[in-house]
C-alpha cells in the first residue's frame, strides 16, 4: 500500500506507481465511511501484507500516530505541535477525485484499478459491505485473493527487468482478466469499466486545484 498524503504529493509518486510490477488501484472513500477508514488505519499492516507485491493500493488519509511505519514511508514530520488533531490530510479529497473520474458517489467506497496514472480507462469495484469489521475483513481478503490469482498468471511473475512501459502493458492485460474473475467469485454487485477523458493523474490535479 502507498500512503498518499494529498493530491499534490501524488505527483511525486507517478514514476514509482507506473513502474510497479503488480496491479494498481486507488481506494476511494470519505469521512462518511467511518467504519472503513477506521478499519484501514487500525489494520494497515495486515492489508499491506495481503496486498504485498501483487497490488499497490493508494489512499489519502490522516495518521493514527506519527510513529506508525505507514506514515514514515511518506517522509512526513510533525510541525508546530500535534498535527494529529488538526486534520492536515483530507480523505474527502476522494470525493473530488471520484467526481472527476466519473464515479458516482453511490458507488463509493470502491477500488479503482488503473494501468497507468495517465490512462483514461479504469475499472471500478464497489465495496458492497462495509458496516462492520467482519464485512471488511471478508471484502479485503476476497479481493486480494482475486488479485493474487491474476498476478500469479501474469508475466510479472517471470519479469526480470524493471521497465515502466512493460509494467503498464501487463497491467492492461491484468485488468482485462479482472472483471470475469471477480464475477466468477461473486465479490461485488457493481463492477464496471470507466472510460473518461480524465486520468487518475488528471483527477488528482483537479482535487489539488492545479
What pLDDT, in 10s, does the model give residues 112-124?
A: 999 999 999 999 9
- pLDDT at residue 120, rounded to an integer: 93
- E strands in 29-91: 55-59
Sign of the alpha-carbon torsion through 100, 102, 107, 111: negative
Percent of the chain with pLDDT over 70: 80
Average pLDDT over residues 71-81: 46
Cis peptide before 24 (omega within 30 of 0): no
Within the chain, how many helices (H) and strands (E) appear? 9, 6
- pLDDT at residue 64, rounded to an integer: 57
Other residues' Cβ atoms within 10 Å of the Cβ of residue 62 = 17
Q: If residue 125 lies in a helix (H) or strand (E), which one and from where to where? A: strand 121-126
142/48: higher pLDDT: 142
Confidence of residue 21 (pLDDT cuts 50, 70, 90): confident
Is the pLDDT at 85 greater than 60? The verdict is no
Per-residue pLDDT tens over the stretch 144-195:
999 999 999 888 876 656 688 989 999 999 999 999 999 999 999 899 999 9
Is the pLDDT at 79 greater than 80? The verdict is no
Amino acid at each position: 500500500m502507498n500512503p498518499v498524503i494529498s493530491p499534490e504529493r501524488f505527483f511525486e509518486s507517478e514514476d514509482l506507481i507506473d513502474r510497479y510490477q503488480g496491479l494498481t488501484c486507488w481506494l476511494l472513500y470519505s469521512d462518511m465511511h467511518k467504519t472503513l477508514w477506521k478499519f484501514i488505519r487500525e489494520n494497515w499492516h495486515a492489508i499491506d501484507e495481503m496486498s504485498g507485491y501483487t497490488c499497490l493500493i493508494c489512499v489519502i488519509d490522516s495518521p493514527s500516530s506519527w510513529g506508525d511505519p505507514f506514515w514514515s514511508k511518506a517522509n512526513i514530520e510533525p510541525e508546530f505541535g500535534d498535527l494529529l488533531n488538526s486534520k492536515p490530510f483530507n480523505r474527502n479529497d476522494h470525493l473530488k477525485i471520484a467526481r472527476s473520474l466519473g464515479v458516482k458517489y453511490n458507488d463509493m467506497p470502491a477500488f479503482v484499478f488503473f494501468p497507468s496514472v495517465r490512462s483514461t480507462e479504469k475499472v471500478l469495484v464497489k465495496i458492497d459491505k462495509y458496516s462492520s469489521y467482519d464485512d471488511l475483513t471478508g471484502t479485503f481478503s476476497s479481493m486480494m485473493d482475486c488479485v493474487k490469482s491474476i498476478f500469479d498468471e501474469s508475466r510479472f511473475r517471470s519479469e526480470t527487468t524493471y521497465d515502466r512501459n512493460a509494467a503498464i502493458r501487463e497491467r492492461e492485460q491484468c485488468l482485462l482478466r479482472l472483471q470475469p474473475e471477480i464475477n466468477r467469485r461473486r465479490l461485488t454487485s457493481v463492477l464496471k469499466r470507466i472510460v473518461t477523458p480524465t486520468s487518475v493523474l488528471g483527477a488528482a490535479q483537479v482535487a489539488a486545484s492545479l
